[in-house]
C-alpha cells in the first residue's frame, strides 16, 4: 500500500513517461509471479513433509513438549499405532493410545501456533490501509489523474 501511494505521489509530481510506467507495471507483475510461485512451492514442500519447520515429527515433538513430560511421546504413540500387529500387548498399546489422545485433546493450540504475530500483522494492515485511504482522500484531485495514468501505462499524456 505504501508503494501504491508513493507511486501515485511521484506520478502526480513527475508525470512519468509511458516507458517508465509500463516498466514498473512489468516489475510489479514479475515480483508478484515470483511471490505466488514461492508460495506454491512452499505449500507443496509442506504437503510432502520436506520443510523442516512443518514436518510431522517436528510438530509432534512441539506438541509433546507442551502436553507430555517427554517430547517424543506423540512419536512413540504414532509408532505404536502404525505397528499394531507388532509384538506389543494390544491392551497396553490401546490404553497408551487412548491416554495420549485424551491428553492431546486438552492441548492449548495457541502454545503450538502463536497467534500474537497474526494480531500484529492485522494491526499493521489496518493502519496501512487507513493511512492509504486518508492520503488518497486528502490528495484526491491530484491522485485521480495519477491513478488514471498508472492504470493506462502505455498512453502518452
CA distances from 79 to 60, 82, 87, 103 (A): 12, 5, 13, 17
Between CA 57 and CA 74 the distance in angstroms is: 9
Indicate left, alpha or beta for 107 from its phi (over 0: left) and psi (-120 to 50: alpha).
Answer: beta
Q: Residue 115 falls within a domain, yes or no? A: yes
Q: Residue 8 falls within a domain, yes or no? A: yes
pTM for this prediction? 0.67
Nearest to 8 by CA among 157, 156, 154, 140: 140
User: Is residue 88 scored above 80 in pLDDT?
Assistant: no
Q: Residue 156 falls within a domain, yes or no? A: no
- Please give the pLDDT value at position 14: 83
Q: Tell me the pLDDT tens digit for each residue of 101-154.
A: 888 888 888 777 778 888 999 999 999 889 888 888 888 887 888 888 888 888
- Please give the pLDDT value at position 38: 98
Mean pLDDT across the stretch 16-35? Answer: 93
Q: Tell me the pLDDT tens digit for each residue of 35-87.
A: 999 999 999 999 999 998 888 888 888 888 888 888 888 888 888 877 766 65
Q: Residue 157 falls within a domain, yes or no? A: no
Q: Which three cell numbers stand for residue 1?
A: 500500500
Give me the count of residues in the chain: 157
Domain span holding position 87 = 2-151
Between CA 100 and CA 74 the distance in angstroms is: 7
Which of residues 2 and 54 earns the better pLDDT score?
54
DSSP 8-state secondary structure symbol assigned to residue 139:
T
Between CA 60 and CA 77 the distance in angstroms is: 10
Q: Residue 84 falls within a domain, yes or no? A: yes
Name the pLDDT band for 1 (thresholds 50, 70, 90).
Answer: low
Q: What is the number of structural domains in the chain?
A: 1
Q: Residue 49 falls within a domain, yes or no? A: yes
Amino acid at each position: 500500500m505504501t508503494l501504491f501511494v508513493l507511486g501515485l505521489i511521484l506520478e502526480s509530481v513527475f508525470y512519468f513517461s509511458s516507458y517508465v510506467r509500463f516498466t514498473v507495471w512489468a516489475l510489479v507483475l514479475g515480483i508478484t509471479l515470483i511471490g505466488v510461485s514461492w508460495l506454491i512451492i512452499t505449500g507443496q514442500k509442506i504437503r510432502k513433509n520436506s520443510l523442516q519447520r512443518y514436518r510431522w515429527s517436528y510438530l509432534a515433538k512441539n506438541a509433546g513438549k507442551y502436553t507430555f513430560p517427554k517430547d517424543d511421546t506423540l512419536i512413540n504413540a504414532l509408532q505404536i499405532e502404525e505397528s499394531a500387529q507388532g509384538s506389543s500387548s494390544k491392551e497396553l498399546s490401546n490404553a497408551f493410545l487412548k491416554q495420549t489422545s485424551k491428553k492431546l485433546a486438552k492441548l492449548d493450540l495457541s502454545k503450538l501456533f502463536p497467534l500474537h504475530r497474526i494480531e500484529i500483522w492485522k494491526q499493521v494492515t489496518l493502519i496501512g490501509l487507513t493511512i492509504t485511504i486518508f492520503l488518497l482522500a486528502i490528495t484526491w484531485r491530484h491522485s485521480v489523474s495519477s491513478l488514471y495514468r498508472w492504470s493506462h501505462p502505455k498512453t502518452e499524456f
